[in-house]
Homo-oligomer: A and B are copies of this chain.
Amino acid sequence: MFSVTCVAPVNIALIKYWGKRNEDLILPINDSVSMTLRTDELCAETTITASESFYSNKMWLNGEEVPFEENTRILRCLNEVHRLAICAGSQKIPLSWKIHVKSFNNFPTAAGLASSAAGYACLVYSLACLYGIPVNDQLTTVARQGSGSACRSLYGGFVQWHRGNLDSGCDSVAKQVVSSKFWPNMHLIILVVNDQRKNTGSTLGMQRSVQTSQLIQHRADKVVPERVNQLKTAIHKHDFDTFAKITMKDSNQFHAIAMDTYPPCVYMNETSHSIVSFVHDFNELMGSSLIAYTFDAGPNACLYVLEENIPKLIYAINKAFPNDEESADYLRGIPLSNLDIQSKTKDNIFREKMELLKIQQKNTLKYIIHTKVGEGPRLLRANAR
């Protein structure tokens, strides 16, 4: 009997992945670039136990058993890891032993924050630890076959998922652009939005987009390659202003493609749009792009901001999106006291500017998570009995 426990991070795309050229192998129509988040706030934690005495493979997600042998994506990940173990000649534990997988998210799944990327990255990373396979680009092709964007969660810092050209998908790999240490003051403020709307799932949504949008191919062929280069240059130069503009434009374009889909997919709601207006207003008042928004296939906003600008941003959010709740439950993650915010935003000129922000109805935000760029997956413990 042998067991490993690992954690893997969530990643948020800056250049969005939207559309597959091969549904089965999960090969995308364009490159994407993401930032990996700290696992302290958001992560998947997975324990895999392998034993000679287990009769069958089993899996539990957040405490509830889920089908294993019927889940083609999980099976494919397991088979692919087995194949890599054979190729690597690794004989840490016998491949014939059945496994039990227990996985948890440390954040509410109801928040609509991409949990499948962290989940599949954690599964594949844990399997790699179990069977003694190194983390490299090849392993990212395995995670990709679980959930496309999971491949980006196998690295920390900023990560590029290369679409690749081969039909086999061998070259559709994730590679690190820079580590989390390269831009350590890059933070993220996630605004979790109250939402009623039932959205189109992203697998179905992107299928429909590829089939019906008359703009998606132009985006993939012409717009994204240029943006990926510009964004990587901005990251290498620590040029936040350019980083912000490309990130916001790409979020908008992804939602434009979703809108150009037939029937259209709508993921942002009124609150999302008021956050977009808020960010543009704030940046205009501040005279440069100090914040960038990005929205995935849901209404929650991810706001990128440098550490030094966080008190100002939080002050502005509290102003524009007033909330009855003032407890720690409202502002979660990396601590930031109200005292800090008040003392670091004392400047009268700043406060006068903030008076110009449009004030939304109370309680349009559910809660806020403060986190930052983080490391890739890691092994917490391994036991042999």
User: Using a CB–CB distance below 8 Å, which chain A residues touch chain B?
Assistant: 212, 214-215, 218-219, 222-223, 245, 248-249, 252-253, 255-257, 259-264, 266, 269-270, 273, 276-277, 280
A215-B215, A215-B219, A223-B215 given as contacts; is B252 within 8 A of A259 (CB)?
A: yes
Shortest distance between the CB of A193 and any CB in chain B (Å): 13
Are A253 and B214 in touch, CB under 8 angstroms?
yes
Distance A230 CA – B276 CA, assembled complex (angstroms): 36
Are B257 and A280 in touch, CB under 8 angstroms?
no
Q: Which of B249, B252, B262, B277 contacts A252 (CB 8 A)?
A: B262
Interface of A is mostly: helix
A–B Cβ pairs within 8 angstroms, 14 of them: A212-B249, A214-B223, A215-B253, A215-B256, A218-B218, A248-B262, A256-B257, A256-B260, A259-B259, A263-B277, A263-B280, A266-B276, A269-B270, A270-B270
A219 / chain B contacts, CB cutoff of 8 Å = 214-215
Shortest distance between the CB of A364 and any CB in chain B (Å): 13
Q: Which of B215, B257, B269, B276 contacts A264 (CB 8 A)?
A: B276
A259 / chain B contacts, CB cutoff of 8 Å = 252-253, 255-256, 259
Distance A46 CA – B252 CA, assembled complex (angstroms): 42
Are B263 and A276 in touch, CB under 8 angstroms?
yes
Please give me the residue from chain B that is nearest to A196 by CB atom.
B270
Are B264 and A260 in touch, CB under 8 angstroms?
no
18 additional contacts, CB 8 Å, given A252-B261, A255-B259? A212-B249, A214-B219, A214-B223, A214-B249, A215-B219, A218-B218, A218-B222, A248-B262, A252-B259, A253-B259, A256-B257, A256-B259, A256-B260, A263-B276, A263-B277, A264-B276, A266-B273, A266-B276
